[in-house]
Amino acid sequence: MNPRELTVTEHLVELRKRLLICAVFFVIALIVGFYLAEPIIKYIQYSKEAEQLTLNAFKVTDPLVVYLQVTVIIAFVLSSPLLLHQIWLFITPGLHETERKATLKYIPYSFILFIAGASFSYYVLFPYVMHFMMGLSADLEIQQTIGINEYFSFLFRLVMPFGIVFQLPVVTLFLARLGILNPELMVKFRKYAYFVLVVIAVFLAPPDFISNVIVAIPLFLIYEISIIIARRGYRKFLQAEAMLLEEERIAAEREQVERLLAEQKRQIEEMND
């Protein structure tokens, strides 16, 4: 840890600095997202799922709303690594040197897992959901008229949560590496966690058993992977703590020896006098 503890005012100044950096970079990412939004929107429009539909604008502002939605999401994705890095810089004064080096490595993994979760949802889950919805409409002889704003909003509500849920391994590893989370608690409360994951799957997927299974199985796998990773992180935390205690013990013994030598030297000097 740093030898000097920061005051509350210094913490607030540091927080303001980090937030300002994040805001500046997010604005830059918004500008980049503004130019990337159009090709991404067209890519989604001409995908296999959207090609079969006629997307309508029910309001004059619908195209603008979709464009801004995509722009903001692109900016969020592009700026997320820097946001995580700024969070790391803010909390790093309270970490040991080994913890600082270890936790810094998690940032790229977090970004990769977010992309993996969003990609799984878009390329695997979303096509199945659309197929289910279109099939249900056909069975009920309902002619769907889908708005472009509704389509993209539904897509983002399905894709973005998966990108966030896929962060679980990194979050658990981070907490375990700091000694905040004991992975054995995750094992102990596994059945309750599975229940929560099933509830999440029900909310994210269409109301049929196969969809729920398609969503729930990856969530279960992520949870189990998180336990395995957290155990490794917690072992490293215990090793680091043991090394720190050993260093403190050696330092205390050295200090005690130095005090004894100083006392002996003082006594010898007094005897000579």
Q: Which pLDDT belongs to residue 144?
A: 76
pLDDT of 6 reads 61
Give the pLDDT score at 28.
94
pLDDT of residue 1: 46
- The predicted pLDDT at position 105 comes to 76
Query: Which candidate, 186, 165, 193, places its Cα nearest to that of 229?
Result: 186
Tell me what pLDDT residue 213 has. 81
Q: State how far the alpha carbon of 94 is from the alpha carbons of 188, 198, 242, in Å.
A: 29, 37, 18
pLDDT tens track, the chain, 273 positions: 444 566 667 778 878 888 898 899 999 999 999 999 999 998 888 887 777 777 888 888 888 999 999 999 999 989 888 888 888 787 777 666 666 766 777 788 888 888 988 888 888 888 888 887 777 777 777 777 788 888 888 888 888 888 888 888 888 888 888 778 888 888 888 889 899 888 888 877 666 677 778 788 888 998 999 999 888 888 887 777 777 777 777 877 777 777 777 777 777 766 666
> pTM of the entire structure?
0.75
- Residue 5's pLDDT is what? 60
What's the pLDDT score for residue 3? 45
The b-or-e profile of 247-257 (16+ CB within 10 A means b, else e) is eeeeeeeeeee
Based on C-alpha coordinates, what's the Rg of the chain?
Answer: 27
